[in-house]
Amino acid sequence: MASSEIQKTRVINELRGFIKKLLQDPKILEQSLDITRRQLGESGQGDVMARIANEISDTTSVHIPEDPEEHSEADRLFLELLKEVVREEQALY
């Protein structure tokens, strides 16, 4: 199996596990969106994505590494999607 195929399989398996967590505890999604809304709304500088990841890890059963350098492709995808959804919500108002 080629390296890119192994990478794709790993990301798919990680996303599959994450979706399973969401189905088992649907509150995770709303909590994650609330955290993202709050963190994006704060004017503090620094790595907002790291703050979002850390708070999600601290308050839900989802674990995202503290160090952004250790985020997997699935972690980055989830964080970017949260940010995108919140930005689209804000654009509607």
Residue 1 has pLDDT above 90, yes or no: no
pLDDT at 86 over 80: yes
pLDDT digit string, tens, across residues 24-67 = 999 999 999 999 999 998 866 668 999 999 999 999 999 999 88
The domain tally of the chain equals 1
Distance CA 75, CA 32 (A): 13
Q: How far apart are CA 34 and CA 31, in angstroms?
A: 5
Residue numbers of the domain that contains 55: 1-92
**Tokens, residue 4:** 């890119």
User: d(Cα 58, Cα 52) in Å, to the nearest integer?
Assistant: 10
Mean pLDDT of 12-35: 93
Which residues are within 8 A (CB) of 7 and not within 5 positions of it... i.e. 6 or more apart?
Answer: 73
